[in-house]
């Protein structure tokens, strides 16, 4: 057992040393990991005996590449074709994608990206057919020229004037488009328009893109109703869009029968029927005729009180009552229209809303 531990520790140390060496070489622009080319006329004995990074076993090399950051992986693609093929592989970039973008890349964003890729491949495919009808342009993956990786040069001091060809349907290309703000994707924004009082404790659909300079997002809200845009949206104010309920679709409420006082929920609300829905946070309250916590029977009543405690008790927006059995959209042009309800099932969801609670009670 001690021998196994000793060998394992030495293997880890070796990987760490080689990884550090590779990063050091990247910073100094030296390229000693290139294999000797066949057309060299003179060979220096010292260089003949030097070990190349590509001489390492595939498993060892993969372990080293997995330790590199996105900027370092991109730098390695400029070294030689063999390293490029390894460094653009999806399995390396999927980890970086999941680490930084996994929380926001919900089903709606993934669907949007796939549609974007299909459009690009169709356009480039048509162009290639007309220009190179007799050449071997037909490949399983069409490539795009990324020049430069602007997000790398700004964040990591890298310069890629030559660009790098990457498959359009690769995870690396997706990651790059997210980082440089070229891809607008669907998301939902908490407390839209910089926490405007009319949208406190709500969450609305938007198209957003990343700004790597400020590490924030730009947001464009639905054109239905009032057009609006916002900058400097922090990561904490975003969540994935729902693909099962679009902003103008009524959510199917399948939780009403089980709602009890104290349960946390989100409910759709819109000012008029021309506007899209937003999701508003609330807590189930007690009916007026309730005898109190100990003898409460609100859960057995056909009506349920939906409270919005960010408003003062006397505010007309403080509460509404809906029917458990036959609830559809209810409301009017004065109070707005209430749509579907979903019960919050995780502590993370509830904690996120509590972090957004206004400093003062609203009117």
Q: What is the mean pLDDT of the chain?
A: 81
pLDDT of residue 144: 57
Residues 6+ positions from 330 with CB-CB distance below 8 Å: 322, 337, 338
pLDDT of residue 79: 85
Spatial distance between the Cα atoms of 296 and 289, rounded to a whole number of angstroms: 10
Per-residue pLDDT band at 218 (split at 50, 70, 90): very high
Q: What is the DSSP letter of 244?
A: S
Q: How many helices (H) and strands (E) does the chain have?
A: 11, 13
- 238 three-state secondary structure: strand
Per-residue pLDDT band at 36 (split at 50, 70, 90): very low
Q: What are phi and psi of 169, to 5 degrees?
A: -95, 20
Would the pLDDT of 45 be above 70?
Answer: no
Per-residue pLDDT band at 126 (split at 50, 70, 90): low
Quote the radius of gyration of the chain (alpha carbons, Å): 28
Query: Of 44-48, 51-55, 270-274, 309-313, where does mean pLDDT reach its minimum?
Result: 44-48
185-240 maps to which CATH number?
A: 2.30.30
Contact between 76 and 160 under an 8 Å Cβ cutoff? The reply is no
Residue-wise pLDDT tens digits, 227-268: 689 999 999 999 999 887 888 899 999 999 999 999 999 999
Considering only CA atoms, which of 57, 33, 59, 58 is closest in space to residue 47?
33
Spatial distance between the Cα atoms of 219 and 309, rounded to a whole number of angstroms: 27
Contact between 243 and 111 under an 8 Å Cβ cutoff? The reply is yes
Would the pLDDT of 301 be above 90?
Answer: yes
Write out the H or E segment, with its range, that includes residue 239.
strand 238-240
pLDDT mean over 167-180: 94
Contact between 323 and 253 under an 8 Å Cβ cutoff? The reply is no
What angle, rounded to 10 degrees, do the helices at 90-101 and 58-66 form? 20
Spatial distance between the Cα atoms of 176 and 252, rounded to a whole number of angstroms: 37
Considering only CA atoms, which of 67, 89, 66, 64 is closest in space to residue 77?
89
Residues 6+ positions from 227 with CB-CB distance below 8 Å: 221
Specify the pTM: 0.79
Could you state, in order of their start, the residue ranges of all structural domains in the chain?
65-125+139-183, 185-240, 256-355
Would the pLDDT of 160 be above 60?
Answer: no
pLDDT mean over 172-190: 96
pLDDT of residue 34: 45
Classify burial at 219, counting beta carbons within 10 Å of its beta carbon; exposed 0-12, middle 13-18, buried 19 or more.
buried
Would the pLDDT of 71 be above 50?
Answer: yes
């Amino acid at each position: 057992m001690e021998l196994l531990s000793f060998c394992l520790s030495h293997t880890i140390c070796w990987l760490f040393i080689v990884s550090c060496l590779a990063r050091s070489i990247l910073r100094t622009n030296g390229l000693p990991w290139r294999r000797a080319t066949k057309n060299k006329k003179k060979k220096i004995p010292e260089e003949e005996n030097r070990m190349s990074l590509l001489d390492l076993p595939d498993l060892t090399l993969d372990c080293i590449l997995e330790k590199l950051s996105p900027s370092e992986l991109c730098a390695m693609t400029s070294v030689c074709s063999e390293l490029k093929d390894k460094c653009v592989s999806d399995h390396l970039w999927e980890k970086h994608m999941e680490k930084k973008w996994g929380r926001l890349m919900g089903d709606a964003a993934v669907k949007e990206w796939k549609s974007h890729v299909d459009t690009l491949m169709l356009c480039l495919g048509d162009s290639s057919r007309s220009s190179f009808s007799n050449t071997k342009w037909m490949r399983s993956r069409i490539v795009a020229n990324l020049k430069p990786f602007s997000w790398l040069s700004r964040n990591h001091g890298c310069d890629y004037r030559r660009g790098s060809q990457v498959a359009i349907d690769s995870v690396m290309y997706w990651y790059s488009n997210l980082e440089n703000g070229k891809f607008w994707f669907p998301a939902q924004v908490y407390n839209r328009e910089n926490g405007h009082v009319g949208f406190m404790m709500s969450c609305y659909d938007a198209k957003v893109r990343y700004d790597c300079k400020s590490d924030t997002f730009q947001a464009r809200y639905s054109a239905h109703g009032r057009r609006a845009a916002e900058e400097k949206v922090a990561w904490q104010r975003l969540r994935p869009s729902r693909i099962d309920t679009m902003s103008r679709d009524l959510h199917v409420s399948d939780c009403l029968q089980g709602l009890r006082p104290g349960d946390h929920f989100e409910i759709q609300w819109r000012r008029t029927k021309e506007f899209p829905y937003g999701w508003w946070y609330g807590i189930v309250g007690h009916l007026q005729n309730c005898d109190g916590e100990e003898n409460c029977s609100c859960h057995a009543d056909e009506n349920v009180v939906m409270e919005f405690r960010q408003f003062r008790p006397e505010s007309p927006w403080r509460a509404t009552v809906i029917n458990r059995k036959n609830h559809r959209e209810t409301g009017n042009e004065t109070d707005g229209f209430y749509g579907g309800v979903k019960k919050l099932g995780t502590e993370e969801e509830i904690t996120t809303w509590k972090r957004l609670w206004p400093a003062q009670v609203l009117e």
